[in-house]
């Protein structure tokens, strides 16, 4: 049988995603103030600390009324006071009495309905009347009608976004237990990559500008992660020493380039030499076939994961969107597959022996989501990313016609 990663044993995209899910363990948890937890994943469910609302309150600016049942138009009430938001009412309404009240204010005892001020007429300084009928219990927010104290608001594994932070804040949650963010190192390999800060005037012949480091840093920042960027020359000793150093304290090492079978591709042999266990190598996809996923078990029972991506920028971009995103989610306690959407292809596509990820634009056309391929899809090209908004997954060995349904991933 041929070795894992050979041309005969390329694994599929779905197999690679599954292996990342299976072989990655969540990081330990930490407790953070809620205000510092944006984008974090909950390691423990969050519960409401109070009833919501905490007390029965008015839903409008108007008048709290006391009546036996529904109130007919032109019914008069005696006005006995006022209660503002933030005040605790001290008076109790008796039948036929009313109090001026404002939105969010606690309703006085004895209140059976609240009349919004638009339907109230002032007869004199001490009496009001309704201009229309009013139902019993109108415009009253009941205590605990939204949440009860102790009720779960957000489940373990849920990612905290702006809305969930607002909901938890209103429910009196001050801190949350979340999975720790990983410590991430990014290694850019290749002697052809120009030094940081190079310009069109200073770059030397045979060198290329580094698109991968800025792209990767920006991608991680978009996810809320800081990364450390390293550049390494195409020398076995330099690559091996750097991976050994980074594996001591980092949770994830992401590499670009040097992961195929060329004479100067040292990422894989250096990784294995430093005690990493290979999970898979090479995926049957285009772009980004050379891909290494390995892990190292440290003496303290923690792990360092290494995801080695091909060096071409488009391959790196695909790898980040699919595999790095999956790995990060598992480290944060959430096993998942990429959130594919379905869309209708606007044109024909020829078949290819490998599964492809094409950069496209997606838009709604008369309520149907459609996708349209962009030009310049080669793995060394990135210019179409200025207009692309999705990656579209094209199965291997299959021809597509306009109107066929495909899977896409928003970028």
pLDDT at 380: 83
CATH number of the domain within which 161 lies: 3.90.105.10
228 and 364 fall within a common domain: no
Based on the fold, state whether residues 161 and 254 are members of the same structural domain: no
pLDDT at 205 over 90: no
- pLDDT, tens digit (0-9, with 9 covering 90-100), for 140-181: 999 999 999 999 999 999 999 999 999 999 999 999 999 999
Last residue of a domain, one of 112, 141, 170: 141
Give the residue carrying structure tokens 């109230």: 120
Task: Give residue 197's domain range.
Answer: 13-27+181-332
Residue 5 placed within a domain: no
Q: Do 302 and 234 share a structural domain?
A: yes
Distance from C-alpha of 221 to C-alpha of 225, rounded to nearest angstrom: 5
What average pLDDT does range 330-346 have in this prediction? 93
Residues 173 and 293 in one domain: no
291 vs 195: CA distance, rounded Å: 24
Q: Which of 141, 166, 201 is the last residue of a domain?
A: 141
Q: What is the mean pLDDT of residues 278-303?
A: 97
Q: What is the pLDDT of residue 201?
A: 60
19 and 39 belong to one structural domain: no
Percent of the chain with pLDDT over 70: 94
User: What pLDDT, on the 0 to 100 scale, is given for residue 1?
Assistant: 34
Q: Is the pLDDT of residue 257 over 50?
A: yes
- What confidence tier does 5 reach under pLDDT thresholds 50, 70, 90? very low
In this structure, the answer to whether residues 121 and 104 fall within a common structural domain is yes
Same-domain status, 119 and 159? no
pLDDT mean across residues, the chain: 93
Q: Of 85, 111, 141, at which residue does a domain stop?
A: 141
Q: Picking from 29-38, 290-299, 327-336, 356-365, which range would have the lowest pLDDT averaged per residue? A: 327-336
Q: What is the pTM of this model?
A: 0.85
Q: What is the CATH number of the domain that holds 392?
A: 2.40.340.10
Q: Tens digits of per-residue pLDDT, 93-148?
A: 999 999 999 999 999 999 999 999 999 999 999 999 999 999 999 999 999 999 99
């Amino acid at each position: 049988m041929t070795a894992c990663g050979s041309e005969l044993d390329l694994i599929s995209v779905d197999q690679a995603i599954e292996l990342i899910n299976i072989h990655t363990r969540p990081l330990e948890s930490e407790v953070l103030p809620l205000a510092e937890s944006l984008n974090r994943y909950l390691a423990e469910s969050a519960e409401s600390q109070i009833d919501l609302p905490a007390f029965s309150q008015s839903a409008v600016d108007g008048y709290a009324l006391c009546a036996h049942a529904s109130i007919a138009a032109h019914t008069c009430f005696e006005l006995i006071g006022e209660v503002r938001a933030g005040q605790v009412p001290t008076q109790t309404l008796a039948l036929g009495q009313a109090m001026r009240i404002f939105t969010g204010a606690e309703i006085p005892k004895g209140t059976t309905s609240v009349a919004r001020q638009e339907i109230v007429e002032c007869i004199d300084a001490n009496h009001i009347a309704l201009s229309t009928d009013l139902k019993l219990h109108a415009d009253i927010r009941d205590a605990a009608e939204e949440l009860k104290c102790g009720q779960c608001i957000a489940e373990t594994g849920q990612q905290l976004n702006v809305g969930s932070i607002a909901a938890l804040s209103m429910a009196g949650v001050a801190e949350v237990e979340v999975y720790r963010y990983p410590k991430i190192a990014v290694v850019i390999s290749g002697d052809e990559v120009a030094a940081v800060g190079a310009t069109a005037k200073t770059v030397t012949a045979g060198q290329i500008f580094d698109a991968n480091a800025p792209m990767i840093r920006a991608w991680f920042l978009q996810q809320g992660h800081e990364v450390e960027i390293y550049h390494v020359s195409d020398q076995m000793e330099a690559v091996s020493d750097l991976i050994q150093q980074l594996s001591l304290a980092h949770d994830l090492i992401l590499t670009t380039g040097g992961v195929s079978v060329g004479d100067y591709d040292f990422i894989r042999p250096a990784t294995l030499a430093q005690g990493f266990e290979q999970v898979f190598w090479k995926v049957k996809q285009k772009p980004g076939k050379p891909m290494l996923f390995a892990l190292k078990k440290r003496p303290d029972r923690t792990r360092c994961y290494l995801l080695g991506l091909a060096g071409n920028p488009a391959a790196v971009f695909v790898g980040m969107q699919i595999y790095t995103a999956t790995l990060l989610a598992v480290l944060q306690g959430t096993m998942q597959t990429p959130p594919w959407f379905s869309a209708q292809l606007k044109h024909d596509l020829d078949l290819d022996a490998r599964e492809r990820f094409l950069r496209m634009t997606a838009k709604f056309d008369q309520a149907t989501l459609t996708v349209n391929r962009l030009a310049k899809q080669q793995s060394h090209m990135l210019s179409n990313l200025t207009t692309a908004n999705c990656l579209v997954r094209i199965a291997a060995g299959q021809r597509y016609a306009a109107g066929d349904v495909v899977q896409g991933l928003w970028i």
